[in-house]
Amino acid sequence: MGPAEVFSRATIATDDGRERRCYRVVTVGISAAACRTESGITVRPEVDVRRAPQLDTVIIPGGRGMQNSKLNRQIAEWVNRRAVRTRRIAALGSGIYALATTGLLNGRQIVTQSSFAKDVASRFPKLRVNSRNLFVKDGAFYTCAGGTSSVDFALFLIEEDCGRQVALGLARELIVHLKRPGGAEQYSEPLQFQVQSCDRFADLPGWMSCHLSDDLSVDALAERVGMSRRNFTRQFHKSFGKSPSQFVADARIAEACRRVLIPRNNLDSVAASLGFKSLTAFSRSFQQRVGVRPHTYRARRKGLAKKIFAAV
């Protein structure tokens, strides 16, 4: 449902000032019978597999039903017949079971949710299973961890087709906090800190990650939660296993690693946007935690991306 909503909202402006939809979303079922999802929502396919039109992109959703081997074989047979005439084929979450059954992913890297990565690797030993990242592209095949990362994935496909500005405009319309790249980790450190924290600190990690350019000194943070500096520092370390200053520094550099890889971002602007007083201070802190200066990190990651693209 998430990706369908994203695709259905994507539009581009025409020369006469009107808006044209970028996609037509078609739901395809093994049969035309209504399907009740795990959330209780009923979906009635527009067509069944026998009457499906020619499709540019096929996306196989997840769900508990994808553990059914009979269902997987039916989907796999249809996908195999369609593969040659389809520009790209994707699987979301447990949809990987159906797509992997086709054999089309053998030898390819795939992303799957960490909770069933071992099972996928056991059932399909010819796959290169990645349970860390959100989504990955390998040739004409795309795989995504599912969940909320499906929205990030849909925005990625729209950016491929229609450009970055269309995707970012849509992300703003959907009130997406951050348009995450496929290489982002499934594991969310701020969320983990929220799980570990006491009620008083529950919202603090998320707030800090959204205000990295603000004054995040110990005094400012202690005042925010209504505690003395000494008690705040002690309780923070007890909850998160690190001092407030360490937490802030790590959060800023983690975000810096993402921002420096965006070509249009110069290092001065990245430093300022993350609360560093100077590029020198930013570069020094970056090297302490990452091992190299920001410009070196950017150059190395750019070279690695080119090698991966060439391999695909």
Average pLDDT, rounded, for the chain? 85
What count of Cα atoms within 13 Å lies in the side-chain half-sphere of residue 294? 27
Q: For 183, left (φ over 0), alpha (ψ -120 to 50), or beta? A: alpha
pLDDT in tens, 139-170: 999 999 988 889 989 999 998 998 888 888 88
Greatest Cα-to-Cα distance within the chain, rounded to the nearest angstrom: 69
Which tens digits make up the pLDDT trace of 177-186?
Answer: 666 666 666 5
> pLDDT-based confidence at 301, cuts 50/70/90?
confident
- Alpha-carbon distance of 4 to 192, in angstroms, equals 29
Alpha carbon distance 267, 283 (integer Å): 9
Contact 92, 146 (CB under 8 A): yes
Domain with CATH 3.40.50.880 in the chain: 2-173
pLDDT attached to residue 310: 44
CA distance 245 to 250: 9
Among residues 126, 85, 88, the alpha carbon closest in space to that of 107 is found at: 126
Q: Does residue 202 have a pLDDT over 80?
A: no
pLDDT of residue 225: 85
Q: What is the mean pLDDT of residues 100-119?
A: 92
**Average pLDDT of the segment spanning 281-297:** 91
Residue 299: pLDDT band with limits 50, 70, 90: confident
Q: Give yes or no for residue 173 having a pLDDT over 70.
A: yes
Distance between CA atoms of 75 and 57, rounded to whole angstroms?
15
pLDDT at 308: 39
Local structure of 143: helix, strand or coil:
strand
Q: How many Å apart are CA 225 and CA 234, to the nearest integer? A: 13
Q: What is the pLDDT of residue 165?
A: 84
Work out the pLDDT band at 76, boundaries 50, 70, 90. very high
Q: Please check the confidence at residue 312 and state whether its pLDDT lies above 50.
A: no
154 within 8 A of 183, measured Cβ to Cβ: no
Per-residue pLDDT tens for 32-56? 899 888 888 898 999 999 999 999 9
Query: 308: how many CB neighbours lie within 10 A of its CB?
Result: 14
**Is 124 within 8 Å of 91 (Cβ atoms)?**
no
Q: Please report which residue ranges of the chain form alpha helices under DSSP H.
A: 2-9, 69-82, 96-101, 117-123, 149-162, 164-173, 189-196, 204-210, 218-225, 229-240, 244-259, 267-273, 279-290, 294-311
Q: Residues 16-36: pLDDT tens digits?
A: 878 889 999 999 999 989 988
Provide φ and ψ at 38, rounded to 5°. -65, -25
Between CA 171 and CA 175 the distance in angstroms is 6
Residue 214 φ then ψ, to 5°: -80, 175
pLDDT at 74 over 50: yes
Worst-scoring range by mean pLDDT, 30-44, 98-112, 200-214?
200-214
**pLDDT band for position 1 (50/70/90)?**
confident
pLDDT of residue 101: 94
CA atoms within 13 A on the CB side of 141: 23
Q: What is the pLDDT of residue 207?
A: 82
Residue 194: the pLDDT is: 52
pLDDT of residue 311: 42
What is the rounded average pLDDT of the residues 280-303? 87
Q: Using an 8 Å Cβ cutoff, are 128 and 139 in contact? A: no
Domain 189-304, second-level architecture: Orthogonal Bundle (1.10)
- 239 within 8 A of 197, measured Cβ to Cβ: yes
Measure the CA dihedral 184/241/203/174, to 10°: 0
**What CATH code would you report for 2-173?**
3.40.50.880
- Residue intervals of the chain classified under CATH 1.10.10.60 are 189-304
User: Mean per-residue pLDDT for 266-274?
Assistant: 91
